Amino acid sequence: MTDKTVGRFAPTPSGRMHLGNLFCALTSWLSARSRGGSYILRIEDLDPLRCFREYSELMEEDLKWLGLDWDEGGLADIGPSKPYSQCDRSDIYEQILETLRQKGLLYLCFCSRSELHAANAPHLSDGSPIYGGKCRNLTEAEIKEKLKKRGGATRLIVPDEDVTFTDMCYGEQTQNLVTHCGDFILRRSDGVFAYQLAVVVDDALMGVTEVVRGRDLLDSSFRQIYLHRLLGFEPPQFGHHPLILADDGRRLSKRDKDTDVGFLRTRFTPEQLLGQLGFAAGQIDRPEPITAKELLSCFSWDKMPRNDIKIDAAKFFD
């Protein structure tokens, strides 16, 4: 074992990247590279109905345009842990799932979306439902009967205990899995492996030592750390960065054309865009043009703002 940093960027090719995706790529690259670490580009194309190869191609081109490079993965699928596209890793996920199944930690859940989101079901403040374990004790006969009508989602039983970790940006974080999410899904009822399973298996098997991503995914970290440990893996370090929001506080979406990288590339040089992003991330004092390599020597998690970053489109895109 070496203690070398291995970072990664793991985008979903469901559309052209937007400014927020670029910010995530940049932050994860800076965090790994500034410590002399290696960097993986993994393609999170689990959902065949939402993901398209043309977006993966554009994504690679956009990252290269910005001056970001990677040692493993990508569409060329180079490296010791290939394949690096999740759509090609189903056999690995199935094997891992089977080990959990044999330990009696999984069960099938037949609850519909509307049942899970029912008004009387407990919800977190962000609106996500907490699963109360309704299907945990179904009998063999009940399962057989239900399977005639529809496929079941595979859930993992979670223990009533706190998971704690220290985030590179937000500091110490604690969550109880039972009160915050309940037994969670590792495979959807349509057979697609869940993000939580794939991301843990991939990060572990690819030797990733740090996971850097937007703070909207911080909540997932507790489940992922639990799963890492359950599978006998050492969890990576986590660093969540603030989100880039539109000036009215809205989350950016791949449907917003004005923050789409294709559009940005017609208005900015990579150095101009990096200057804006580096400034927004508190890494440099002025939004002046800079290269990705130059940003490496300035990068520090201590300078990263904790609050989300509102981009004033009128000013930013001037």
Closest distance between Zn ion and the C-beta of residue 154, in Å? 11
- Contact between 188 and Zn ion per CB under 5 A: no
- Contact between 111 and Zn ion per CB under 5 A: yes
Closest distance between Zn ion and the C-beta of residue 134, in Å? 4
Angstrom distance (rounded) from CA 220 to CA 226: 10
Are 247 and 310 in contact, with CB atoms under 8 Å apart? yes
CA-nearest of 138, 84, 104, 130 to 230 is 104
Q: Cα–chain-centroid distance for residue 208?
A: 13
Of residues 123 through 182, those in contact with Zn ion by CB under 5 A are: 134-135
Count residues binding Zn ion (CB under 5 A).
Answer: 4
The nearer residue to Zn ion, 111 or 212, going by C-beta atoms, is: 111
- Contact between 215 and Zn ion per CB under 5 A: no
Give the contact letters, 8-37, x = binds to Zn ion (CB under 5 A), - = no. Answer: ------------------------------
Closest distance between Zn ion and the C-beta of residue 101, in Å? 17
Token pair of 305, please? Answer: 């703002």
Angstrom distance (rounded) from CA 248 to CA 299: 28
CA-nearest of 277, 286, 269 to 304 is 277
CA-nearest of 278, 313, 162 to 229 is 162
Are 84 and 40 in contact, with CB atoms under 8 Å apart? yes
The nearer residue to Zn ion, 92 or 121, going by C-beta atoms, is: 121
The nearer residue to Zn ion, 116 or 243, going by C-beta atoms, is: 116
The nearer residue to Zn ion, 90 or 189, going by C-beta atoms, is: 189
Stretch of 51-59, 97-105, 109-117, 275-283 lying at the interface with Zn ion (CB under 5 A): 109-117
Q: Cα–chain-centroid distance for residue 144?
A: 35
Closest distance between Zn ion and the C-beta of residue 49, in Å? 23
Alpha helices in the chain (DSSP H): 19-33, 53-66, 90-102, 113-116, 140-149, 177-180, 195-205, 218-230, 261-267, 270-280, 292-296, 313-316
Closest distance between Zn ion and the C-beta of residue 97, in Å? 18
- Contact between 109 and Zn ion per CB under 5 A: yes
- Contact between 185 and Zn ion per CB under 5 A: no
Angstrom distance (rounded) from CA 48 to CA 39: 25
Stretch of 7-15, 106-114, 166-174, 212-220 lying at the interface with Zn ion (CB under 5 A): 106-114
Binding site for Zn ion (CB under 5 A): 109, 111, 134-135
